[in-house]
A and B are shown apart, each in its own frame.
Chain A
């Protein structure tokens, strides 16, 4: 009868003994340790997972642990299938499967970051209560008020813009929440949509607009962000990615986490540029619908193009104005 030799430890103690095990035809396993014989059925044994060159441990129900000198063939000897474990061990040790895994992981990573996560973010974003977004938008506005100054525009000008937006919005989209336009003063012409339907217009942007229709094209662009819920989806997306990246790379150094974060930032900027393009298209359609022309939009984009500092497009959240103008002018 074949014997497998190794070492054994008595229940819960660290004293080591030379030992051997024998399996009989009636599925009984005998552990021989010096003068002692420990017996149990094969079903009562537990075997540690087979991982690379890690020594295999056979646990007896009564607490004895046996470690064979040579672990190859121990599963077959003890007639223990352990199929799942053996399949994973094969995957881990086969060169071809490792290379395939590498390709699949790379493809999954890119696809997940580019398509699956944005899709999941949209789905989750729809389940978040409206009041949470509105409250978050109000908080964002409070934070912006630390760096922005109160608007110098008269209340009559502000209210005229607000009235026009509230008149036009039912024609443009079925908005999730009522639109609230806020006026502030900053350092350069800008406008942005916040969570919960809040839109901030800077005095400098109003100043750049030579006509009402030019200003409307900018407001329509921001309404596009609100209509498509870009900010909401992006907020959920950033929560998911920050949780996932902390889980995936939590074994790495801070420096590595920073580098991965920077890579993620650049990829996210790519998604943000797509949102900008969608908002431009929304604005273009709205301009055609309301004014029958996109010329005011082209004019104000050209005017804004002169007042912006240039940073590489791949690093920016917005496409370059040249690309935007080119895209708007396409039929």
Chain B
């Protein structure tokens, strides 16, 4: 980070006691009104969180109208109910719904991003998302399809390139195919993911200022490789543990007792769980830090009179895991009542590890016209848990 530039950390000033009241009243009124109030609850919660997020003395603001959310929610619920009912009744309808769902993912992500950005403002200036739907389909479905076909073709070529004659040859071929295929799949995944990030980040605007970042394939690939390597290490440890157990049983001519088998299963399960969590958190943290280190906000007429900002994210894997695990323990032991505290704890951690570098007060952004009104995409995305997870 350049020390010569003014760096300001995002502050979250919301108190757990305040959020506790908002949260429980939201739930109660949503129950009493048979879910209708949930739209008002969503708006109120977002207004609380964005309104308490401060940068350079000013807070963010959320502008969505509860009626917009309610309409979007009703449509989203009808879609989900139709999906669940049809998938219970007919396999053909279930398959068709799955196809429709996958075809709709780019639209849902695009629509969700457009709505959320248009409803958020800072210093009276709205954010916006200017990416086209066509481009969304190109980077998500188009690239995804090309990656899938490329993977299938390469695997078909690898498997049909001759039969190994010895056992060593078979083992060697399996290792080559496994590692080669895995590395190629990871490369293709990184190619698709970097394309998606580039599309979404470079189409974000703050008034007439544009966000930009170059998310390099090489960096995304390295993050994915490390993330997968963590899981591979876990599998390796499980392999050594299981092999030593079986070796002991064979050498001492002991039949495997149920307790031995159970200990191997429990050890494997716990190791995979720990490695899985570590791998997922590492990938999220590394990706966010990398994207923020590349992110900048500048005016489209880049001249000396307009200020520009850069960003920094300093999340760390171990503290993130610590927060996640302790939050889970608190949530479970409080029967869910600790949710407001755990939620605020996460937001505070993310906020204090996010900095904006540059002259924030020098940004003279002007809001652009927006026609975004429908919250259907936003509601579908939140109901189906589809999220880019950048910010």
Q: Which residues of A contact B77 (CB under 8 A)?
A: 243, 247
A112 at the interface (CB under 8 A from B): yes
CA distance A66 to B332 in the complex (A): 43
A156 at the interface (CB under 8 A from B): no
Q: Which residues of A contact B27 (CB under 8 A)?
A: 101, 105
A57 at the interface (CB under 8 A from B): yes
With known contacts A92-B21, A102-B337, A15–B324 Cβ distance under 8 A = no
A259 at the interface (CB under 8 A from B): yes
Q: Are A54 and B21 in contact (CB under 8 A)?
A: no
Q: Which residues of B contact A104 (CB under 8 A)?
A: 28
Interface contact tally, CB-CB below 8 A: 136
B3 at the interface (CB under 8 A from A): no
Q: For window 335-382 of chain B, which residues contact chain A by CB distance below 8 Å?
A: 336-337, 339, 343, 361, 363-367, 382
Q: For window 46-60 of chain A, which residues contact chain B by CB distance below 8 Å?
A: 48-49, 51-55, 57
- B360 smallest CB distance to A (angstroms): 9
Q: Are A9 and B123 in contact (CB under 8 A)?
A: yes
Q: Which residues of B contact A108 (CB under 8 A)?
A: 28, 31
For the residues of A in contact with B, the DSSP-based class is helix
- A243 smallest CB distance to B (angstroms): 6
CA distance A42 to B28 in the complex (A): 33
B328 at the interface (CB under 8 A from A): yes
B274 at the interface (CB under 8 A from A): no
Of the candidate stretches B44-52, B146-154, B159-167, the one touching chain A is B44-52
Q: Which residues of B contact A252 (CB under 8 A)?
A: 331, 339
Q: Are A51 and B47 in contact (CB under 8 A)?
A: yes
B58 at the interface (CB under 8 A from A): yes
A327 at the interface (CB under 8 A from B): no
Q: Which residue of A lies closest to B59 (CB)?
A: A55
Q: Which residues of B contact A92 (CB under 8 A)?
A: 18, 21-22, 25
Q: For window 1-59 of chain A, which residues contact chain B by CB distance below 8 Å?
A: 9-16, 48-49, 51-55, 57
Q: Which residues of A contact B25 (CB under 8 A)?
A: 88, 91-92, 97-98, 101
Q: Which residues of A contact B339 (CB under 8 A)?
A: 252
A132 at the interface (CB under 8 A from B): yes
Q: Are B28 and A101 in contact (CB under 8 A)?
A: yes
Which range holds the interface residue count of chain B? 35 or more
Task: Select one of A9, A57, A247 contacting B38, CB under 8 A.
Answer: A247
B303 at the interface (CB under 8 A from A): no
Q: Are A12 and B366 in contact (CB under 8 A)?
A: yes
Q: Are A49 and B47 in contact (CB under 8 A)?
A: yes
A246 at the interface (CB under 8 A from B): yes
- A111 smallest CB distance to B (angstroms): 10
Q: Which residue of A lies closest to B21 (CB)?
A: A92
Q: Are B15 and A14 in contact (CB under 8 A)?
A: no
Q: Are A51 and B21 in contact (CB under 8 A)?
A: no
CA distance A59 to B44 in the complex (A): 18
B89 at the interface (CB under 8 A from A): yes
Q: Which residues of A contact B383 (CB under 8 A)?
A: 246-247, 250
Q: Are A52 and B324 in contact (CB under 8 A)?
A: no
Q: Which residue of A lies closest to B126 (CB)?
A: A12
CA distance A12 to B324 in the complex (A): 39
With known contacts A12-B367, A48-B61, A256-B331, A54–B125 Cβ distance under 8 A = no
A65 at the interface (CB under 8 A from B): yes
Task: Select one of B15, B89, B125, B337 contacting A52, CB under 8 A.
Answer: B15
Sort A-B residue pairs by CB-CB distance and give the 4 closest, nearest first: A54-B51, A9-B124, A12-B367, A92-B21
A-B contact pairs, 13 of them (CB 8 A): A11-B124, A12-B125, A48-B47, A53-B52, A57-B61, A88-B44, A101-B27, A104-B28, A235-B88, A239-B88, A243-B80, A246-B80, A252-B331
Using a CB–CB distance below 8 Å, which chain A residues touch chain B?
9-16, 48-49, 51-55, 57, 65, 88, 91-94, 97-98, 101-102, 104-105, 108-109, 112, 132, 135-136, 139, 235, 239, 242-243, 246-247, 250-253, 255-256, 259-260
Other A-B contacts than A9-B123, A260-B336, 4 sampled, CB-CB below 8 A, are A48-B47, A52-B18, A132-B89, A136-B90
